[in-house]
Chains A and B, each alone.
Chain A
Amino acid sequence: MKIGYYPGCTLKAKAKNLEDSAIASLKSLGVEMVELERWNCCGAVHNLADDDLVHYLAPVRDLIRAHDQGFNTVVTLCSMCYNTLARANLLIREDEVKRDALNDFMEEENNYKGEVDVVHLLPFLRDQIGWDKLREAVKNPLFDLKVAPYYGCTLTRPREITIDDGLSPLVFEDFIEALGATVVDFPESQTCCGSYNIVSNPEAALNVVAEIVGEAGDREADVLAMSCPLCEYNLGRRQEDAMKDREGATTVPVLYFTQMLAVALGLDPEATRFDKNTEATRKFLEQRKLLVSA
């Protein structure tokens, strides 16, 4: 099976481990991820002003690329790209006036009416591979690994684009179980990590990071798994800053869900790419003998 794949800006740089582990894992499951030609940054955040259309141009151009290249589905790995593309697609499908204005403005492009479906990799695995088939493909079950699933805010909100039940999603939990790992009941799984505030209001972001990581530690999670490079940065790379004033707080390594998948499928370090993770994550995985597949 071949699918259209939209990487986004960060997956070509800081989050190469998210991309490499996903492409290799999907290949081993018989799926070729075909990167869209001439894709551009989606803008990272959805435009929330009703009278502003110009910020839809970037995500809609990406959807036009997917359609022009013959794909009826485009898969994303990054949560923020998923959110931005899916919401732009929703506007195109539901608002005829704005759709016409956007198409008129981009007169050099083919008209787009929302023909492409935007799908995140987690529901793609559920719907196109299936948990039973995934379970069968697992060569290195992640027994004894306790994983806190972290959806963050952009995979399940707003409700119109959620990848599963908006308030009680299970797709991440089912994925973790299919790999043989244990799901940690984690009430902060959909709490925002502070997002872009890490740039301009870092203290505000670190406050909420401390809450999330603290809860994962209290619930004895071995790792926090996620699909967003900004969450990975806030919850992982800034974890020490966030927890420094919290006495007795435990640290929790973070990794991408696709890296767990690659390990469970028995892929090599070129696929798992833990070399790009934090020292704390690598140290933990080394102790648990998960850096190299069994």
Chain B
Amino acid sequence: MPFAFSLDTVDLDFVEKMKEITAEPFKTCMQCGTCTVVCPMTTSMPMTTRQIMHLTQWGQSEALLSTNAAWICASCHACEVRCPRGIDIPRVIEGLRQLILRENENYVDPGSLDKEKLEEMPQMAMVSAFRKHTA
């Protein structure tokens, strides 16, 4: 999926906010794509982990926050342990989620979930999903 961006779409406030929330040197990413190769969720994401890193470096907040890419990440750290730049990529993706959750917007509405499925799920599924996906 191609992304067109120009100076008009660069959001410097977003870059500063991401630095504050993540404390990660995401600008040192050299776009090698190792993160995408090892990500188990890639096939379900509308953009790859490498693209998330690229758009974050360039302050493309609208392109990033208008997709559900960050919400599919399972924070499994497969990318982090193999990143040659030592970037904790799950923290960068957490930053994207936090930017939305801190506006008091849920990604998932607990009331809309299938009650029968919730009944059979382990408690930790709900604790972790609601920690990650609700404000």
Contacts and interface: CB of A to CB of B under 8 A. Distances in A.
A201 B44 contact: yes
B113 to A, nearest CB: 7
A157 B81 CA distance: 7
B124 interface: yes
Given A51-B20, A199-B121, A230 B74 contact: no
Interface in A40-55: 41, 43-46, 48-52, 55
Contacts of A9: 123-124, 127
B40 A45 contact: no
A128 interface: no
Contact of A203 (B44, B80, B131): B44
B41 A204 contact: yes
A10 B122 contact: yes
Interface residues of B, number: 43
Given A9-B124, A48-B75, A158 B95 contact: no
B107 interface: yes
Given A157-B81, A195-B76, A198-B125, A51 B21 contact: yes
Contacts of A208: 40-41, 44
A190 B82 CA distance: 13
Contacts of B77: 153, 157-158
Interface residues of A, number: 47
B63 interface: no
A230 B124 contact: yes
B50 interface: no
A110 interface: no
Contacts of B41: 192, 194, 197, 204, 208
B72 A197 contact: yes
A15 B122 CA distance: 8
Interface in A181-236: 190-192, 194-201, 203-205, 207-208, 211, 229-230, 232-233
Contacts of A233: 120-122, 125
Given A200-B133, A207-B43, A157 B78 contact: yes
Candidate in A15, A49, A197, A199 with the most chain B CB atoms within 10 angstroms:
A199
A194 B40 contact: yes
A117 B125 CA distance: 26
A166 interface: yes
B60 to A, nearest CB: 21
Nearest to A212: B40
Interface string B86-119: 0010110011001000000001100001000010
A260 interface: no
Contact of B120 (A10, A192, A237): A237
B123 A196 contact: no
B22 A10 contact: no
B40 A199 contact: no
A93 interface: no
A80 interface: yes
Given A200-B133, A229-B122, 7 more contacts: A9-B124, A49-B22, A153-B74, A192-B41, A196-B128, A196-B133, A199-B129
